[in-house]
Structure 1
Amino acid sequence: MKNENIKILMVMEQCNPEWASVPLLSYNFYHEIRKRVQVTLVTHERNQSALEKVRGNHTIDYIRESSLLKRYYRLIKIVTHRGAVNWPLQHALSYPIYGEFNHRVSQKYGPLIRAQKYDLVHVMTPILPRYPVKLIDHCETTPFLLGPVNGGVPFPPGFDTVAKKEFAGFNFLRMFTRLIPGYTKTYQTADKVLSGSLYTQNMLKNLFDMDDSRIGLFHENGILASFTETPKKHTSKTMNLLFVGRLVAYKGADMAIKALSTLPKTVQKRLTFTIVGDGPEKKSLERLAGKAGVGNIVHFTGWIPQKETLIHYKKSDVFCFPSVREFGGAVALEAMGCGLPCIVPDYAGLGEYVTEETGIKIKPKSRDHLIQKFAEKIQFLLENPDIREKMSARAIDRVRTYEWGNKAHDMVCLYKKMIRA
């Protein structure tokens, strides 16, 4: 039931139901929270065309961008989108775009916050914990909530080649974050900061000497109720493996293909492996599958809409995802919601979402170690359908708390607690 008495100012620079990743995640949060409390959403004008289709009678304010910065962003894309995207450099060069948004939001809504027009201010995006929020200067008597923020996870040792492909050498640019005016103040004075991972939580606690009362764990990812299935029954002697994600080096699709190639031919004949996604590594992965002798069981769909991705989740038996640097790992939640046991590296977000009861986690000691262990665990699950069934049921039970409606309920409970305090 909606509580009209609670007025939330929600700032989401990225919020878009038609895009993937952070913009879609933010929209799903917003969509469910606005059912429960009165929300004024403040977002970037780039999201307007998509949000107007689903706005209804809700209040959304679109912050305009100067024509100069629009031209600047086009230049950034030319510099950073050459083959694989240089994300560290793009994040660094894009700061002026966020900086303008941040300044204009503060100018417009600062006086309204000081006039106590809102019961709480919640700033959720950007997700990366590198950005100041000028609105905090106006929240002297209004609770200020930041997050969940997530990021900064390093590559595990032994994956230097992958790190180089992902331009990890540019990560030194993060240190300049601390020099941005207002950055330190944002984290030192926020009433509450939510972290999307244990790694980021510990990083922020150490960096800003935050006590437990001001920082908490709240995974940013969730799933739609449509992704929640009934546990799978396994009567076939074959097993369908699935990978869903961008085809970039750190996602590790090549390691899954290599793992399949090491299995006996008698085992390979009982497997199929579907790779859903697109990216700069796609052609090399197709060549690898052929060269490794598993081209007949590895199938590439390319990019497909999320509704079609759901069909592949439902047709599959096991989610095979060797990503070595996943801040969150929403695809693992989607797979678990569809009753798929997950085989993943025990690192960062994937290691927090997947438990020993819902899948198999492997320490990423090295590339060769992951390949060997993925092969062993694929064969193990193929030969033990009873264990797959138990994992399937427990996976579905685990992700129910991650349904967007349940996450929104928990967030609103936090709002109420902060407002009372």
Structure 2
Amino acid sequence: MNYRKLKVLLIVEQCNPEWASVPLEGYNYYHEISQRADVTLVTHERNKSALEKTANNENIIYITEAKWVEHYYNIVSKITASGRINWPLQHALTYPIYAQFNHRVYQQFKQQVKEQHYDVVHAITPMMPRYPAKIVRACQNTPFILGPVNGGVPFPAGFKTIAKQEFVQYNFLKKIGRNLIPGYVETYRKADKILAGSSYTLKMLQKIFNLPKHKIDLFYENGITANFLTKYPKEISKNDKVNLLFVGRLVPYKGADMLIEAIAQLKESDRAKIRLNIVGDGSEKSDLQQRVEKFNLSNIVNFVGWVQQGETLEYYRRSDIFCFPSIREFGGAVVLEAMASGLPCIVVNNGGIGEYVTETNGFKIEPISREHIVRELGNKIEYLLENKDILKQMSSESIARAKEFEWGVKAEKIAAIYQDVIAEKQHLKVIEQPSFA
């Protein structure tokens, strides 16, 4: 089916190929959808210099910001980023910056949308389920799609100390925002389709807004670029060292400390078979290095530091098992990258990463307690060390699973969703026509 004729207004406030996390995801969605539809991209002017370097940089509308924004953002950063970042407070205090973007998009495009210049309006970022999209007010006759939105996953009950370190006590601001932010409820109630980035978020939104099942779909947030996909499973001979890998920020909830302790508790004969590379940086690096010295693991554990994504790919390809005991993940792109590189994954089953990993391509550890995670991490590593045939089989399954998340595959699914919501909108319009029988 040819989707190129569809005219899509794609609102991606965070859309930048040179940045990580959500801005990069936003760009990947835009890049692939624009190969399959006639896209007008609406984004923030902060992304202009990066987008102008790309081949596909036509038909982009940049929304400028008021002069006060930069000054205001600097003030918020000083309040929320002294030491570890207070994300709940930062998201709340920076909302006025997004609100300005949101309003200007509405003012600039409301008439075009009302006059049905576009077949679909799709707002992709921000991805947290706490932001309104004012343009929905103009979408009486044009389908409006929101998402994927992802978030809201709580910290496990046994990790209250880490939750406090991540300022969980400020999460009440989310509930306040739902009641006070103009257009928030309206956005979710009027949307023709909401894409939820995880099962938890889907159930949360259904409950909050009492959404009918046909209005919200599970659509995982993250994707994988084709260059990460390898063709062949890992081959490990009996005498080869097994390379473990951790990739992520070195902050408490990511769990690198639990991985180090799990290795320390392995039998000496098993420790002699492995090496661990920790790729990333963060506030806990010094503490983690002290743990390595305490457990006499300096000859096993290597701190790589932060590296560019291209170099990260080389670490994936040189590794055999991916260990990522983060106790709370929304998207977890690193798990998809590891799977695409043929790595069996050992993760904690709380959030999106627990849905990427299946019983055939890795292990999911329930977040019962810190002690439980450390013990099970060690058990799973030991099992794969002793069963390299299983390791190879899981490697093959990881590659197959990762292919489902390739950005082109995801864009094809979105194109099909566009067709479905257009047909549904037209069907409803026919039903709502007055009868003169």
TM-score (norm 2): 0.95
1:285 Cα deviation after fit: 1.0
Instruction: Output the CA distance in 1 between the equivalents of 2:327 and 2:3.
Output: 42
3-state DSSP of counterpart to 1:398: helix
3-state DSSP of counterpart to 1:84: coil
3-state DSSP of counterpart to 2:275: strand
Instruction: Output the CA distance in 1 between the equivalents of 2:93 and 2:258.
Output: 32
Q: Which residue of 2 aligns with 1:360?
A: 363
Moved more, 14-23 or 281-290: 281-290
Instruction: Output the CA distance in 1 between the equivalents of 2:403 and 2:268.
Output: 38
Q: Which residue of 2 aligns with 1:210?
A: 211
Identify unmatched segments of 5+ residues in structure 2: 425-437
Q: Which residue of 2 aligns with 1:15?
A: 15
Identify unmatched segments of 5+ residues in structure 1: none
TM-score (norm 1): 0.98
Conservation of the 8 A alpha-carbon contact between 2:51 and 2:57: no
Instruction: Output the CA distance in 2 between the equivalents of 1:307 and 1:83.
Output: 29
Conservation of the 8 A alpha-carbon contact between 1:238 and 1:382: no
Q: Which residue of 1 aligns with 2:200?
A: 199
Q: Which residue of 2 aligns with 1:172?
A: 172
Deviation string, structure 1 residues 77-100 (Cα, Å, up to 9, x no partner): 111112221111110111000000
Q: Which residue of 2 aligns with 1:96?
A: 96
Q: Which residue of 1 aligns with 2:84?
A: 84
Alignment of 1:1-400 (within 5 A): 3-56=3-56, 58-179=58-179, 180-229=181-230, 230-235=232-237, 236-400=239-403
One-letter identity of the residue aligned with 2:235: K
Moved more, 118-127 or 295-304: 295-304
3-state DSSP of counterpart to 1:23: helix
1:24 Cα deviation after fit: 0.4
1:237 Cα deviation after fit: 3.7
Instruction: Output the CA distance in 1 between the equivalents of 2:126 and 2:186.
Output: 17
1:3 Cα deviation after fit: 4.2
1:132 Cα deviation after fit: 0.9
One-letter identity of the residue aligned with 2:362: G
Instruction: Output the CA distance in 2 between the equivalents of 1:318 and 1:56.
Output: 36
Instruction: Output the CA distance in 1 between the equivalents of 2:332 and 2:15.
Output: 19
CA gap of 1:74–1:341, structure 2 versus 1, over 3 A, is same
CA gap of 1:116–1:141, structure 2 versus 1, over 3 A, is same
Deviation string, structure 1 residues 7-27 (Cα, Å, up to 9, x no partner): 000001101000000000111
3-state DSSP of counterpart to 1:391: helix
Deviation string, structure 1 residues 135-187 (Cα, Å, up to 9, x no partner): 00000000000000000110011001111111111111111121211111111
Deviation string, structure 1 residues 328-364 (Cα, Å, up to 9, x no partner): 2111111011110001112211110000100011111
Conservation of the 8 A alpha-carbon contact between 1:241 and 1:273: yes
3-state DSSP of counterpart to 2:214: coil
1:327 Cα deviation after fit: 0.8
1:420 Cα deviation after fit: 2.2
1:52 Cα deviation after fit: 0.8
CA RMSD of aligned residues (A): 1.1
Percent of aligned pairs with the same residue?
A: 53
CA gap of 1:57–1:87, structure 2 versus 1, over 3 A, is closer
Q: Which residue of 1 aligns with 2:434?
A: none
One-letter identity of the residue aligned with 1:339: G
One-letter identity of the residue aligned with 2:186: K
One-letter identity of the residue aligned with 1:38: D
What is the count of residue pairs matched by the alignment?
A: 421
One-letter identity of the residue aligned with 1:335: A
1:2 Cα deviation after fit: 6.7
Instruction: Output the CA distance in 1 between the equivalents of 2:154 and 2:57.
Output: 43
